[in-house]
Amino acid sequence: MKIYMISLACITLLVPAANGNYVILGHIIDFVLNSLRKVPEIIPLYPQPKYVDDNPTYDFIIVGSGPTGSVLANRLTEIAEWNVLLLESGEEPGIITDVPFLCGPLEFTEYNWGYKSEPQSGFCRGCTDGRLEWPHGNALGGSSIINYMIFCRGNRLDYDRWAGEGNPGWSFADVFPYFLKSEDARLARSDRNYHRQGGYLTITDVPVRTKAADAFVEAAQEAGHPYTDYNGARQLGVGIEENMKKGIKALNIFKVSYIQANLRNGRRCSSEKAFLRPIRKRENLEIQTGSRVVRILIDSGTKRAYGVEYVRKGETHYAIAEKEIILSAGALNTPQLLMLSGIGPEEHLQDLGIPILQNLPVGEIMYDHATFPGIFFRVNESIPFNQVEALLSPASYIDFKRGRGPFTTLGGCEVIMYIRTDVSTDPDQSYPDMELLMVGGSINTDFGTIYRRIFNIPPETYDKIWKPLEGKPVYQVFPMLVHPKSRGFIKLESRNPFDAPKFFANYLSDPDDTDIRTFIAAIREIQRINQSPAMQKYDSTLVDTPLPGCEREIFNTDEYWACALRTLIGSLYHQVSTCKMGPKTDPEAVVDPRLRVYGVAGLRVADTSIIPHPVTAHTAGPAYMVGEKAADIIKEDWNP
């Protein structure tokens, strides 16, 4: 606990200096975080072998220890006769990752691969170098070490349509038991029969809430949005009128529409902590960190995968799998590894001189959840939610030790809403097309040290829009496009496995501008909610400083917001479909409904890359589900 206190003190004592030079402060925070991550545990949880045997043989080799890979390592080693090797390119996470509040700064440490999207003309034209930050976890626990810990399963239609496209076994009725299997829910209020206790993965309410979040929930209710457990029976919920008819007072509803999070005693509950730590001493599980897989070994004659090549401490090693290799490296790294191994688009691999073993559309489809950081509101001083002041209070350190207080906040994220805009043409009226993520602060809250950099906002733009708001109460709502029409793709930079892939996000590129129009409809709904009495009693006012590059448009017109969306936009890091699941007749499919790579025996993909279309969720929840279901599929296939 002393190290916790020192760590938190080092971070928070830097904040007052932000009123000076926030660029220097950002570098200091980077240095402190990277130093703290190297503080050794008194006893390492996962001692590593000094030497690795040549060509050791296992039943299964799992590549990647994010939510899906960690679940698989846990569930497959339940069978004592099976030996499993789990390879992770990153290292064991340090204690600093336990602090939820630091999820934003963690993106700028070695726990992140540090990927960026390629510059493209149709979006992010006001971002630094025209590029998006695309964090991807590089540690034992994968992206669950650096994400914002928001737990959301998605809408039942996501899965029913997944199954309806020729993927039997993936309907909501099929996958719902796997969500429950993982779960240890400790929620104050939730829909009966939609949660359980006793699983490995802890899900709780966030211990601290700002007054602004309470007001926003109440305002949303006043605007006609119902309370719902978004992981419960209905994602869009039951209307206020229906609740009132049942005698439920609106005031009792206002307090419960908050984020459900992967926290345990106020600390991050990552996939490492949930699924690996309890089983780390199983004799049939070997975990190697710092081990970067660079190629899948495949017999070119039989087209059977039989092992992996990986680099550890600068030396090349090989490991053999008697049964299967399972790729769980995530939606960005799994397609890279497949293509490096000769599995991918024929023309692209030929251009790079990579021998082709199987022509498949790997990386040719990539969806992501885009979000907009440019709509935020000033409130009067009667909402005391100065996060910096709270963090500097000595009481906050004591509170964190007890699992509460400002250090337990998810980087400021507090409320989730799912809405259906008037742009939606989906025939099912219960299917949302936007998520609204309310934050009890804004990009100015940390004086431009971290959140500005998360969205690649240039200093001059920050200085014009957010700097005048420093030290003032501001709250922000991020609209997130849950079912984008635009889709991107991934290419290899070269045949060198240590070169980062090239990511083309293609945001807002759909030909009929549906994505833009849906965003604007969501912005209008945010403004309507803000006009509700619950927010207006705090004089909540839209900040109307135009973004640089959009000054020619009249502020708050549709034309202005279209310009703003193409000027500043961000990612919530929910990439899917890069190794799409589909039936054999689907020309876009890479894996079949049992996660087997088409045309290559002994090789499966199990992570969010197989999800065929974006789900109405933050993707960590579905990633855990994929791991649970994949484990049962593999057990069925090898124990008929």
Q: Cβ-count burial of 69 within 10 angstroms (0-12 exposed, 13-18 middle, 19+ buried)?
A: buried
Beta-carbon contacts of 412 under 8 Å, excluding residues fewer than 6 positions away, are 387, 439, 440, 441, 445
Give the annotated binding-site residues for FAD. Answer: 293
Tokens representing 226 are 């119902």
Check whether residue 13 and residue 88 sit in a common domain: yes
Give the annotated binding-site residues. Answer: 293
For position 357, which CATH number holds?
3.50.50.60
pLDDT, mean of residues 378-396 = 69
pLDDT, mean of residues 399-410 = 84
Residue at 48: amino acid letter:
Q
Q: Which residue is it, tokens 């251009």?
A: 351
Check whether residue 303 and residue 227 sit in a common domain: no
* Within-domain flag for 182: no
Residue 153, pLDDT above cutoff 70: yes
Check whether residue 354 and residue 453 sit in a common domain: no
Give the number of domains in the chain: 2
**How far apart are alpha carbons 262 and 618 in whole angstroms?**
12
For position 390, which CATH number holds?
3.30.560.10
* Within-domain flag for 559: no
Check whether residue 434 and residue 527 sit in a common domain: yes
DSSP 8-state assignment for residue 111: T
Check whether residue 99 and residue 240 sit in a common domain: no
Residue 253, pLDDT above cutoff 70: no
Check whether residue 357 and residue 391 sit in a common domain: no
**How far apart are alpha carbons 413 and 374 in whole angstroms?**
16
Check whether residue 249 and residue 160 sit in a common domain: no
Check whether residue 377 and residue 351 sit in a common domain: no
Check whether residue 165 and residue 233 sit in a common domain: no
Q: Which of 5, 483, 1, 45 is nearest to 235 (CA)?
A: 483
Give residue-wise pLDDT tens across range 488-539: 999 999 999 999 999 999 999 999 999 999 999 999 999 999 999 999 999 9
Active site residues: 574, 618
* Within-domain flag for 211: yes
Backbone phi, then psi, for 165, in 5-degree steps? -90, 15
Q: Cβ-count burial of 332 within 10 angstroms (0-12 exposed, 13-18 middle, 19+ buried)?
A: buried
Measure the CA dihedral 242/247/250/256, to 10°.
-90
Check whether residue 144 and residue 29 sit in a common domain: yes
Beta-carbon contacts of 31 under 8 Å, excluding residues fewer than 6 positions away, are none
Domain around 56: 2-177+269-367+574-638
* Within-domain flag for 564: no
* Within-domain flag for 612: yes
**How far apart are alpha carbons 220 and 257 in whole angstroms?**
10
Tokens representing 502 are 């090239």
Check whether residue 341 and residue 377 sit in a common domain: no
pLDDT, mean of residues 298-305 = 97
Q: Which helix (H) or strand (E) holds 330?
A: helix 330-340
* Within-domain flag for 560: no
* Within-domain flag for 84: yes
* pLDDT given for residue 619 in this prediction: 97
Average pLDDT for the chain? 89
* Within-domain flag for 246: yes
Tokens representing 620 are 């960590």
Residue 341, pLDDT above cutoff 60: yes
Tokens representing 452 are 């500005």
Task: Report the chain's C-alpha Rg in angstroms.
Answer: 24
- Bridge partners (DSSP) of residue 291 are 312
SS3 content of the chain, % helix, strand, coil (to 5): 35, 20, 45
Q: Which helix (H) or strand (E) holds 285?
A: strand 285-288
Residue 55, pLDDT above cutoff 80: yes
* pLDDT given for residue 234 in this prediction: 77
DSSP symbols for 526-572: HHHHHTSHHHHTTT-EE--PPPTT-TTSPTTSHHHHHHHHHHS-EE-
**How far apart are alpha carbons 4 and 424 in whole angstroms?**
47
Check whether residue 39 and residue 106 sit in a common domain: yes
* pLDDT given for residue 209 in this prediction: 87
* pLDDT given for residue 19 in this prediction: 45
* pLDDT given for residue 389 in this prediction: 59
Q: Which of 441, 51, 508 is nearest to 212 (CA)?
A: 441
* pLDDT given for residue 390 in this prediction: 62
**How far apart are alpha carbons 171 and 154 in whole angstroms?**
12
